[in-house]
Amino acid sequence: MKKSIVLFFSVLLLSVCTEKDTPETEKATDEDIGIPVYFFSFETDRDTTGWQGTLSPDQFEWRDDAPYGARVLRLSGGCIMPTAYFTDQFQCSSGFYRLGGWLKVAWGSGISVNLNRVSSSYYPDLHISSQDTCWRYCISDTAVWIEQGEPIILELHAGGYVSTGGLFDGIGIYKVEE
């Protein structure tokens, strides 16, 4: 029974991510998903300003195993609560947006990124995830309308019910061309 539950959630996680077979050193272009309006490369400590969670930014770990750039954010956890999250009043113009980013499982079961509108009854509004131990650029399958000034929460999850460590890089919110 336990194995069937784990298999079910594994298939579910794999089905919600559009993974591009992109070479490790190639960065997705704006034509792939849209114009970046929020972007976290984690190259400098400034990229974690405003982040909170079960780990505070002074507890974040850095690795030099980056698909591009010099470093990536490494998080580990085993809780269904976000390992780290960023909250903001959406500063960009109203429109349709997608979520994208580089993900790599260091150990354990899987990692994910969620984008939520505080006013939404859906959870999450946008989602990407990976269970791969090699770098994958993931793009949300859908786009969601976000109003200018609407409160948003960007969440990074490492683990869930199973303790997991993961690497995150180039996490972005992209405006879809209309």
Q: CATH number of the domain that 166 lies in?
A: 2.60.120.260
Cβ(143)–Cβ(50) under 8 Å?
A: no
pLDDT single digits (tens) 102-134? 999 999 989 999 999 988 877 899 999 999 999
pLDDT band at 9 (very low <50, low <70, confident <90, very high): very low
- Can you give the C-alpha Rg of the chain in angstroms? 15
Q: What is the pTM of this model?
A: 0.80
As for how many domains the chain has, the answer is 1
Other Cβ atoms closer than 10 A to 80: 9
Between these two residues, 111 and 6, which has the higher pLDDT value? 111
Look at residue 56 in the predicted model and tell me its pLDDT: 65
Cβ(95)–Cβ(144) under 8 Å?
A: no
- CA 115, distance to chain mean position in Å, is 8
What range defines the domain where residue 125 resides? 2-175
Beta bridge partners of 166: 75, 105
Burial of 128 (0-12, 13-18, 19+ CB in 10 A): buried
* Token code pair at residue 127: 């989602």
Q: On the CB side of 61, how many CA atoms lie within 13 Å of its CA? A: 12
Between these two residues, 11 and 50, which has the higher pLDDT value? 50
Cβ(35)–Cβ(177) under 8 Å?
A: yes
pLDDT single digits (tens) 121-174? 778 999 999 999 999 999 999 999 999 999 999 999 998 778 899 999 999 999
Mean pLDDT, range 32-59, rounded to an integer: 83
